[in-house]
Chains A and B, each alone.
Chain A
Amino acid sequence: MKNVIVILSMLLIFPDICAAQESDIATEVRELRAKLDRLEKKMADDEAQKAKRAEAEKAAITEQVKKDVISEVAAKGQSYFGRLIEQTKVGAYGSMRYGTSNLDDLHNTFTFRRFVLTVDSPIYERLKANMELEFERFTSLELDKKLTKTSGGGLTSEVALEGTQKSEISLEQAWMQYDINDWLKFRGGAVLVPLGRFNINHDDNKWDLPRRSLVDRGVPVLPATAAWPELGVGFLGDIPIGNTGKLNYQWYVMNGVALNSEIEQIGQTRAGDTTKLAYEVKLQPTRGTFSDDIKAGKSIGTRWAYSPWLGDEIGASLYWGRYTPDFLPSKPVISFAFDGKKTWGPFEIEGQYVNTQWSGVHSVAKGLAQRAITSSSEGEVGDVETEVEFELANLASRKQGYWLDFRYRFWPEVLNRTILGSQFPNPQLIATLRLEQVWFSGLINSIAFTDGSLTEFKTQQRLLNRYTLGLTYRPMPLVALQLAYEYTRTNQGKSLSTVTNYLPAKPGEYFQNAVLMGLTFGF
């Protein structure tokens, strides 16, 4: 009771003190609450910022990774394709000629012999590809095809073909090679047949005369005209022998040369208001097809060359394979060649001998007679005469021949002060004498057949000689200006056109004098 009285008395005496204490506590509590609120807000803000930053960082990392991956892929792509494109080289060689001749039907003329585009590419380490595309005497080729309404009813189909004289587009090489090692390289595709030394080394700008040899081109004695590629696969390589010697070989299995048809369509107007339409079908040896082979059996070609030291080489080569298409009796062609080069300082002798035997030429003619039934058939409708003719061309039981070049390289110092020498580090003059001979045994002169039987089969023995004297100026190794005099002669009274594929000689024109000026280049 006493205590209660004391407390009540205190409350009555100091009422303000108690109220003030209560107010302070409340204020403090409010401040603390506000502080807590601020802290909570700050923490929440910090959390939010942290989350935002983490989100941004994550997005940035994702973006960076994406960029890195893209750039890595791009870099890889660029490094491979970029390198491939950078290392793929396009080159070319070409040659033109101005020639004069005593033959009546051969005008003095400029001839653009050929322009050849070359591409080589190292696909990958030890893998490479190479191709050559030739445009021979080529200017243009135009094709036009139309299907239109005919006035008054019906349809009209038109095909127009416009080309240029003796033009050709030809794939000379297109192969891939895998270098296993120096002595073993695999090559597959359209490869140059290793028969003799010219065909595998035929670029015009490497030679000093403005016309290719009779053996390789002008007759030819090779089973097909150089440059002669075939579709196949094989091996090649170099084997060192001793300190300075080297053995080089090439060996291929290929589709091979075949008798194939060349169709000539002739439209002729004649005296007496009549016209003639003729189709001449020539069956002649041509390079093998790059499509389905037209004969059973493949051909082989191989060349082995030994070089005892730099500058000298001797080679032997062989080609063997069936040349008749499936519809004719199976007969092989066998061709062998010897070639070589010898150097004594500025003097060089280089040559090649080729011997080609077409077996069973008579049987082939008989087979053709049985298949084609009639060698020539004619018919007349009104004033139009039509004719279809089959013939075997460029075949002989045996052709053999050689070319032999004697060269002398020189450069008179006095020419260094002229336009010929002042601009170039190593210009040269090359004097060349080329001797060539070709012998023909059993060269088909004429054949005829009726009702499936051979009625005429005439052959002849012929000889063809050519001598060429030339002078070449080479400002650079890949460029040459050539001047040459050529004398070509066959058996007296016979025509040069029956033993060459480039001279349109009349009957009885058995020799030709020609002066040739050539320009050849490469890059």
Chain B
Amino acid sequence: MNAFVKCFWLVCLVFSLRTPLLVSAQEGIFLKEDEAPKAVFPDATSFSRRVIPSTPELKDRIKQRMGKTPTSVWEDSYVTFVAKKGETILGYAVIVEEIGKHRPITFVVGVGADRKIKDAALMVYREAYGGEVRDRRFLQQYKGKGLKDPLLPYRDIQNISGATMSVEAIGRGSKKALALVDLIYSEDAEQK
């Protein structure tokens, strides 16, 4: 048995020597605001930032667009980016927040010009459990989803066992981003 204990401490030592850098862990900050739009639109060559204040009217219209899906938190304002490649608009990146089980999850949703999700990426995860929602294999499920899709675990999203609340939060936030893009940027385009 002592051999096992020695072996354990030896492995501890080896691990500590082989770990040159502290890199990302389950909870923490994974993307800063200026990195966020690039994470969901890697092909874009320029981004223009636009902050949209959240007014009671805007909330009501987002609520209408989201249908039965309730939000757990309303932002004071929405930080959005228009992603362009040359002069072509690739889409819109929206930073949103939703409560997982106890704490807010901050993430960016990239919505294409076709009003479908291009990609999503986690910016800040604060929950003690359920960090698997950050994995690419989870987030890639949202690609191609639109406002009319349920974006719910066991419906059109594969759940993560033990992280159902976080999975639902990502779905709610994605719907909020889709609704916002639909309201703000579609109307802008129509007005032009």
Residues of A within 8 A of B (CB): 87, 89, 91, 120, 122, 125-126, 128, 130, 179-182, 184-185, 201, 206, 234-235, 240, 243-244, 246, 251, 253, 296-300, 309-311, 320-322, 341, 343, 346, 409, 425-426, 428, 477-478
Contact = CB atoms under 8 A, between A and B. Distances in A.
Given A122-B126, A297-B2, 15 more contacts: A87-B103, A91-B101, A122-B128, A126-B25, A180-B19, A180-B25, A181-B24, A201-B161, A240-B135, A300-B4, A300-B8, A310-B138, A322-B1, A346-B154, A426-B155
A425 B68 contact: yes
Nearest to A416: B68
Given A201-B162, A298-B1, A477-B165, A128 B137 contact: no
A121 to B, nearest CB: 8
17 contacts: A91-B102, A126-B28, A184-B19, A201-B162, A206-B162, A240-B135, A243-B136, A246-B135, A298-B5, A299-B1, A310-B137, A311-B158, A409-B154, A426-B153, A426-B154, A477-B165, A477-B168
A243 B137 contact: yes
A39 to B, nearest CB: 65
B31 interface: no
B53 interface: no
A240 B4 CA distance: 27
Contact of A89 (B5, B19, B23, B103): B103
B27 interface: yes
Top 6 A-B pairs, shortest CB-CB distance: A179-B25, A297-B1, A477-B164, A120-B128, A89-B102, A181-B23
B160 interface: yes
Contacts of B23: 181-182
A251 B5 CA distance: 12
Contacts, number: 102
B46 interface: no
A310 B160 contact: yes
Given A179-B26, A243-B137, A310 B15 contact: no
Contacts of B21: 181
B144 interface: no
A329 to B, nearest CB: 15
Contacts of A89: 101-103, 128
Interface in B147-175: 150, 152-155, 158-162, 164-165, 168
Contact of B137 (A91, A309, A409): A309
Contacts of A234: 8
Contacts of B69: 425
A87 B126 contact: yes
Interface string B38-73: 000000000000000000000000000000111000
A246 B131 CA distance: 13
Interface string B1-21: 110110010011001000101
Contacts of A122: 27, 126, 128
Contacts of B27: 122, 128, 179
B22 interface: yes
Nearest to B129: A120
Given A253-B4, A426-B152, A343 B158 contact: yes
Nearest to A244: B137
Given A181-B24, A409-B154, A425 B161 contact: no
B54 to A, nearest CB: 22
A297 B165 CA distance: 41
Contacts of B70: 425
A428 B154 CA distance: 9
B28 to A, nearest CB: 7
Contacts of B5: 253, 298
A36 B137 CA distance: 94
A34 B2 CA distance: 103
Contacts of B168: 425-426, 477
A246 B5 CA distance: 27
Contacts of B1: 296-299, 321-322
A122 B27 CA distance: 9
A185 B4 contact: no
A421 to B, nearest CB: 10
Nearest to A312: B158
B95 to A, nearest CB: 21
B26 A182 contact: yes
Which of A235, A309, A477 has the most chain B CB within a 10 Å cutoff?
A477
B22 A126 contact: yes
A89 B25 CA distance: 19
A247 to B, nearest CB: 13
A409 B152 CA distance: 13
A246 B136 CA distance: 11
Interface in B55-103: 68-70, 101-103
Contacts of A309: 137
Contacts of B128: 89, 120, 122, 128, 130
Nearest to B25: A179
A343 B161 CA distance: 11
A89 B130 CA distance: 15
Nearest to A295: B1
Contacts of B152: 425-426
Nearest to B128: A120
Nearest to A296: B1
A113 B119 CA distance: 43
A200 B120 CA distance: 30
A176 to B, nearest CB: 12
A409 B156 CA distance: 13
B61 to A, nearest CB: 19
B123 to A, nearest CB: 16
Contacts of B22: 126, 180-181
Contacts of B160: 310
A409 B164 CA distance: 14
A321 B164 CA distance: 36
Which of A91, A182, A240, A296 has the most chain B CB within a 10 Å cutoff?
A182
Nearest to B15: A184
B12 A235 contact: yes
B161 to A, nearest CB: 7
A346 B153 CA distance: 10
A182 B159 CA distance: 21
Contacts of B25: 126, 179-182, 185
Nearest to A186: B12
A235 to B, nearest CB: 7
Interface in B163-189: 164-165, 168
Nearest to B157: A310
